[in-house]
């Protein structure tokens, strides 16, 4: 199949595919950031002694620590949080180890043992809809190390690191957790420039060798392609602000619709984040000898609440961003098939669209603060398939009507 496809594809598509593949491999192996400062957790995430629990806030469930293990363990529906001093625009390098023991995850993959970083805005609202996962794990797994670079968003006024057990049962253990300010390596900018210019050159080569804009639907296809490129290359903070505006507008529209049609409203109520007054509570800590030690940490008076995933209006900036991207690729697939399905090989057309979708995700590897995501690439491809499918149905119906 691959050999047949290689014979069908023009040389320029084969070269583009190889370039993008090697580009992805390079940035998967290359660490473009480096820590530049002390740990924002003050090394308490190593859990080497009893004082390591100071500064951590527990919310419901059971947290165990002992001298002979040197790590913390959480039972189901438990979480341990640490407030981070953050500055808008900073780059944070967060890492940590997770081990799970007979941990049964919930409905979603991340309803498990989880390390994540999230932020509050100036009004004290936690943006649960846009957390940054450092890593999550379930089942019976030994220690796994996770590391991720996180850009502090423009709305952030306070940050939180969270160790949580969102699974149904089992034990989640955490160790060597840290959050450090970081910077992009100086050499990274050179690689960005090289790959960015090479990528742009190849895309221009593809466009100039097809002259598709001179054909019907060509200018529309070019316009949608430019919109996608603009969305891909926007800085993360700008993209988030645009998505936040769209999410706020959508929430207002849906809230208005719920007021107009109250009988069709969801029975679920909106869970709001609120400030809680900390009190002292003792955590059980087993020493080497087996005696129980008491460790005092701050604990909120309110009961534990998982991230708000069951709100009445389920619209977030991340949702708007993904839906907008998928919609644009659906438009791209629709226009491409409506305009070129009869004049271009369907294999070449389909492969070109999928390659373009993958290239826009790989391109984000050379943009500060943007990362390649397989889920985003899958959504792009699904958008192309849905748009192309709609175009195929319309073309098929037109063909049948012309025969009647």
DSSP string, 69-115: T-SEEE-TTEEEEEEE---TT-EEEEEEEEEEEEEEP-SSTTSSEEE
Beta strands 91-104 and 139-151 are antiparallel
Q: Which residues of the chain have pLDDT under 70?
A: 1-2, 5, 49-52, 66-69, 128-131, 208-209, 235-241, 243-244, 247, 251-318, 368-369, 403-404
Distance separating alpha carbons of residues 336 and 402, to the nearest angstrom:
22
Contacts of 158 (CB under 8 A, 6+ apart): 83, 84, 86, 119, 120, 124
Q: What is the pLDDT of residue 382?
A: 93
Q: What is the pLDDT of residue 295?
A: 44
pTM: 0.61
Q: What is the pLDDT of residue 217?
A: 83
Distance separating alpha carbons of residues 341 and 346, to the nearest angstrom:
6
Q: What is the pLDDT of residue 2?
A: 67
Distance separating alpha carbons of residues 244 and 359, to the nearest angstrom:
26
Provide DSSP, 150-175: EEPPTT-SEEEEEEEE-SSEEEEEEE
Distance separating alpha carbons of residues 115 and 146, to the nearest angstrom:
9
pLDDT > 90: percent of the chain: 16
Distance separating alpha carbons of residues 325 and 231, to the nearest angstrom:
8
Q: What is the pLDDT of residue 254?
A: 65
Closest CA to 179 of 96, 114, 284: 96
Strand partners, 294: 284
Q: What is the pLDDT of residue 293?
A: 42
User: Which helix (H) or strand (E) is 299 found in, with range?
Assistant: strand 292-300
| Coil, strand or helix at 379 | helix
Q: How far apart are the first and last CA of the chain?
A: 37
Q: Which domains does the chain have, with CATH numbers?
A: 2-30+187-256+312-403 (no CATH), 34-183 (2.60.120.260)
Which of left, alpha, beta for 290 (phi over 0: left; psi -120 to 50: alpha)? left
Strand partners, 92: 150, 181
């Amino acid at each position: 199949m691959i050999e047949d496809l290689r014979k069908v594809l023009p040389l320029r598509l084969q070269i583009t595919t190889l370039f993008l593949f090697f580009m992805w491999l390079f940035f998967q192996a290359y660490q473009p950031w480096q820590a530049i400062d002390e740990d924002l957790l003050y090394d308490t995430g190593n859990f080497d002694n009893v004082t390591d629990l100071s500064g951590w806030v527990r919310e419901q469930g059971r947290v165990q620590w002992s001298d002979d293990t040197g790590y913390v363990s959480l039972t189901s529906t438990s979480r341990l949080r640490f407030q981070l001093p953050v500055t808008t625009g900073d780059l944070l390098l967060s890492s940590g180890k997770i081990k799970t023991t007979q941990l049964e995850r919930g409905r979603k993959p991340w309803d498990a043992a989880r390390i994540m970083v999230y932020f509050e805005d100036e009004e004290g609202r936690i943006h649960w809809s846009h957390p940054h996962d450092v890593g999550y794990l379930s089942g019976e797994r030994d220690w796994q190390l996770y590391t991720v670079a996180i850009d502090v968003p423009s709305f952030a006024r306070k940050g939180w690191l969270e160790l949580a057990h969102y699974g149904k049962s089992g034990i989640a253990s955490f160790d060597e957790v840290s959050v450090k300010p970081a910077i992009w390596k100086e050499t990274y900018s050179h690689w960005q420039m090289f790959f960015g210019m090479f990528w742009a050159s190849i895309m221009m080569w593809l466009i100039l060798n097809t002259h598709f804009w001179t054909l019907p639907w060509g200018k529309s296809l070019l316009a949608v392609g430019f919109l996608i490129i603009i969305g891909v290359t926007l800085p993360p903070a700008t993209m988030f602000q645009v998505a936040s505006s769209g999410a706020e507008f959508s929430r207002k529209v849906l809230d208005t619709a719920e007021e107009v049609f109250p009988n069709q409203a969801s029975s679920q109520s909106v869970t709001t984040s609120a400030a809680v007054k900390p009190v002292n509570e003792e955590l059980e800590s087993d020493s080497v000898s087996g005696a129980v030690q008491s460790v005092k940490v701050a604990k909120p008076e309110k009961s534990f609440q998982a991230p708000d995933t069951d709100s009445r209006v389920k619209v977030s900036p991340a949702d708007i961003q993904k839906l907008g991207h998928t919609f644009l690729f659906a438009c791209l697939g629709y226009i491409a098939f409506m305009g070129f399905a009869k004049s271009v090989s369907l294999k070449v057309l389909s492969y070109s669209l999928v390659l373009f979708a993958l290239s826009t995700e790989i391109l984000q590897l050379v943009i500060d603060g943007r990362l390649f995501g397989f889920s985003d690439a899958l959504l792009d491809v699904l958008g192309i398939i849905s748009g192309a499918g709609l175009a195929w149905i319309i073309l098929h119906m037109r063909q049948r009507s012309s025969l009647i």
